[in-house]
Structure 1
Amino acid sequence: MTKEHKGQRVGYIRVSSVDQNTERQLEGITVDRMFEDKASGKDTNRPQLQAALEYVRKDDTLVVHSMDRLARNTEDLLRTVRELKAKGVAVEFIKPPLRFAAGTDSPMDDMMMTMLGGFAQFERAMIRERQQEGIEAAKKRGVYKGRKPALTPEQVAELRKRAAAGEQKTALAKEYGISRETLYQQIKAD
């Protein structure tokens, strides 16, 4: 005899970088299981989102802080919510408070989601545009220096020596607090 599934509240959190705080996204919201990604919204590689989407079952509710935390763009949002609803899973957003229930096919819900998803996508584009304008203005004033290098020249020299001696690159990257991609770039740099 199998136990009947009563439906879980499954949380999904995404922050854009490793040092961002995830606590405020679902603060005070009770969930049975939580999935968390640290990846840019434009990044298609969000393993914990994929795990959450595979984990949820009929009668579950996927709880997300806001639409922009779930999807990269409006098309992605609509597809994801549509697929979840078809699977019998409801989707609940905290900001603004919206719930898209499984088994319902409301034109009003679709319109609201499309409009709000479009606004979120537009807002992200405007933020990127203002950021780029600020960088350009700072460059003209001579005050923009770009991102601080991940490693000092001494660390790069030591890293190259240790890598050439055959030390494991994954372990070196972890020790220096850099990605493997950054490690390989530093090793190959002239």
Structure 2
Amino acid sequence: MGKYQTVAYIRVSSVQQNTDRQLVDVERDKEFIEKVSAKDTERPQLKAMLEHVREGDTVVVHSMDRLARNTKDLLEIVETLKAKGVSVKFIKENLAFTADTDNSMNNLLLTMLGAVAQFERELMLERQREGIEAAKAKGKFKGRKATIDSDLIIADIAGGLSVRRTAAKHGIAVSSVSRIIKKSKAT
């Protein structure tokens, strides 16, 4: 068998976010970078990383919440890696899980810290919903700004471009183009 690898898993929740702050000073042989919410369990780079790692490798993650959104998923992923003989290190929490040992204290900390992170996230979302409702009640919440220029879409359609080609040109879904067309006809 070849050299053991240090494999980094880096995740941010959206394409606009930057991954640069994660694992800045950590040397690694390979990295898997994901720009997708952890609520989605179908994460291509997570799957690729899980398939890539081999016995003796170490997976390094900035923090637990970068690997999983909830305690159940966190525990499952760590157990999957350990079962393959792969160690897992969480830099922010300073926790390591090795395949060859079963450290009761680390297992307790993983479960507790994972639960605390999940609880914090749920509280943050609850406060966010409450803030949005309060702003709506005052007439101050408008939602996020449109990222699609409807006028350009309508101009392309009026110019004879098909719905599919218009969608491809602007990098949006066909359904978005259809919705814009329908909305423009209603006004």
Structure 1 unaligned residues grouped into runs of 5+: none
Task: Tell me what 2:19 maps to.
Answer: 22
1:47 aligns with 2:63: no
* CA deviation profile, 1:35-69 (whole Å, cap 9, x unmatched): 11111121123111111111111110010011111
Structure 1 vs Structure 2: percent identity of aligned residues? 51
> In 1, Cα distance between the equivalents of 2:137 and 2:144?
17
* CA deviation profile, 1:65-104 (whole Å, cap 9, x unmatched): 1111101210111111011001000000011111001111
Verify the 8 A CA contact 1:89 1:102 in the aligned structure 2. Answer: yes
- Matched residue type, 1:58: E
Q: Please identify, of 98-107 and 78-87, the stretch whose mean Cα deviation from structure 2 is larger.
A: 98-107
Task: Tell me what 1:57 maps to.
Answer: 54
1:151 aligns with 2:114: no
- Matched residue type, 1:40: S
Q: Please identify, of 127-136 and 144-153, the stretch whose mean Cα deviation from structure 2 is larger.
A: 144-153
TM-score (norm 1): 0.87
CA positional deviation for 1:31: 0.7
After superposition, residues 16-165 of structure 1 pair within 5 angstroms as 16-161=13-158, 165=162
Structure 2 unaligned residues grouped into runs of 5+: none
> In 2, Cα distance between the equivalents of 1:64 and 1:181?
37
Q: Please identify, of 60-69 and 101-110, the stretch whose mean Cα deviation from structure 2 is larger.
A: 101-110
Q: Please identify, of 93-102 and 104-113, the stretch whose mean Cα deviation from structure 2 is larger.
A: 104-113
Verify the 8 A CA contact 1:37 1:48 in the aligned structure 2. Answer: yes
TM-score (norm 2): 0.88
- Matched residue type, 1:47: P
